[in-house]
Structure 1
Amino acid sequence: MTWTIRAVPNLSDNYAWLLRDEATGTVALCDPGEAEANLAALRDMPEPGRLDWILLTHHHADHIDGVPGVVKATGAKVLGAAADAHRLPRLDISVTPGDSIPLGSGAIEVLDSPGHTIGHVALHIPAAKAVLCGDTLFSLGCGRLLEGTPADMFRALRLLDALPGDTLVCCGHEYTESNARFAVTVEPDNAALKARAEEVRRLRKEGKATVPTTLDTERATNPFLRAQNVDQLAERRKAKDVFKG
């Protein structure tokens, strides 16, 4: 099965993710923070304007504010976490961790990923070799602990780390360059990290996205995914919160 995956820049540094199952033509959009940028991307698809599903990872405005406009224009159905339904746009399908929901010729596996927020989910699509991880895992980083605990985030990262190494990490923001500046202070002798940081600088200088990345890349370079225990993760997250580099 072949899927196409496209990062759609939203707002100042967000990404929505546009996925199309080539076998069925099914189109899904993850975390639209605004309407027009995503509607423009849909007009550039093989079936212009088609959108079957909007997939939501968590309730923050920069991930959901585009939902009403996109739904109005496309009639797409909305999927999100049942635990967050009171903070999300109206859901057509409410999911809980462990659910498997058909999507085109594949399926969405719903993973529990609190930490950044309570109720945050990551959406793994094995057929697309991709995980839509919102603000849980970033390239070279992880989300701020706005509602959850270090233990919540550690468990969420372990769930993501269990996915196949070639899984595409489709995260919610273009934070990689700033994350790299912190990461090299944590692991200054990590050769893979140094190479990734240089690649990121080049990509951003060229105006290109640094994501998606892969889980194998993050396993080799991301100091948060590489944290050995909750205490180490907490220490690194606390240091990143005040990092000025």
Structure 2
Amino acid sequence: MSLLALPAFSDNYIWALVADGGRAIIVDPGEAGPVLAAAGEGLELGAILLTHHHHDHVGGVTALRERWPDLPVVAPYDDRITTATQRVGEGEHVEIAGHGFDVMEVPGHTLSHIAYTLDDGHDRILFSGDTLFSLGCGRLFEGSPEQMLDSLTRLAALPDDTRLCCGHEYTVANATFAKVVEPDNPALQRRAEQARALRGDGRPTLPTTLGEEKAANPFLRTEASGVLRTLRERLGRAPADRVEAFAELRRWKDGFVA
């Protein structure tokens, strides 16, 4: 089993979880072209998983189903996703194309956002969509800070060796903000340097692991002393609780200019 990050648009990734025989589960195909190109090189599509309704994650499904009319499409309970053949929600388990996935509802970026986890006894993988990024998290388009913090906390409770596959190549930009928030974090410094080197070679910064994220991602570190010190300086007082700390980080990041 292997993971392919298929670049799409300017900074999206379409993930392909590929079995040894070349049969693949495709995650969040915002456009069909990268998937069709991979199919032309021998990739065989087995199913599609969708995390949320935004067009840059679902826009390619119709064209792919025109090519493969019987292709299963698993999606959250959201009528804005019109191409779904199966709906799933919190705590459900889906067996599809030879793999079993557990489903977590992770509202915040959107209210119906879900994540998929796979644990086959040898490998653990999280497809987080736009909820958790490397060194960052998604904007709050529909959900509240309380909802997003809870979603991130639940994702962070997964095993440290879980491989994180998110929807965008934001790591270098996220690192710039994260280093302002927690400048003395050596794990963050190492991850930032690694990300710059990978992008300099034209390679993805993903997947990473949840253990690495917990050590370096400020949105998973709202109780870390370095993060709290910076927020205290920014607010003129200590944050009242984790929710306020997270909400202030997210507001700050929304307007951040390097």
Fold similarity call, TM over 0.5 = yes
Structure showing greater radius of gyration is: 2
Q: Is 2:224 the partner of 1:211? A: no
Q: Counterpart of 2:139 in 1: which secondary structure?
A: coil
Query: What is the TM-score when the length of structure 1 is the normalising length?
Result: 0.93
CA-to-aligned-CA distance 1:183-228 (integer Å, 9 cap, x gap): 0011000001011111111111221111111001101000001123
* 1:130–1:169 Cα contact (<8 Å) kept: yes
Q: Indicate if the aligned counterparts of 1:79 and 1:95 stay in contact, CA closer than 8 A.
A: yes
Indicate the residue corresponding to 2:154 in structure 1.
Answer: 159
Aligned-pair identity in percent equals: 46
CA contact (8 A) 1:21 1:104 kept: no
Structure 2 CA distance for aligned equivalents of residues 106 and 69 of structure 1? 24
1:104 deviation in Å? 4.2
SS in 1 for 2:219: coil
Match runs of 1:98-117 below 5 Å: 98-117=91-110
Which 10-residue stretch deviates more, 143-152 or 87-96? 87-96
Q: Residues of 2 paired with 1:150 and 1:93: CA distance?
A: 29
CA contact (8 A) 1:32 1:67 kept: yes
Q: Supply the AA of the counterpart residue of 2:165.
A: C
Partner of 1:11: 9
Structure scoring higher RCO (CA < 8 A, sep ≥ 6) equals 1
Could you give the per-residue CA deviations for residues 131-178 of structure 1, whole angstroms, max 9, x where no partner exists? 110000000000000100111111111111111111110000001111
Could you tell me how far apart the structure 2 residues matched to 1:49 and 1:197 are? 33
- Residue in structure 2 matching 1:95, options 88, 100, 103: 88
Shift of 1:105: 4.3
- In structure 2, what is the equivalent of residue 63 of structure 1? 57
Contact 2:62 2:83 in 1 (8 A): no
Structure 2: give runs of 5+ residues left out of the alignment. Answer: 224-241
TM-score by length of 2: 0.88
Aligned residues: 237
- Please give the per-residue CA displacement for 1:99-154, whole angstroms capped at 9, x wherever unaligned: 01113443110001110001000011112411110000000000000100111111
From 168, 177, 184, the equivalent of 1:182 is 177
Name the aligned partner's letter for residue 18 of structure 2: R
Provide the secondary structure at the position in 2 that maps to 1:224. helix
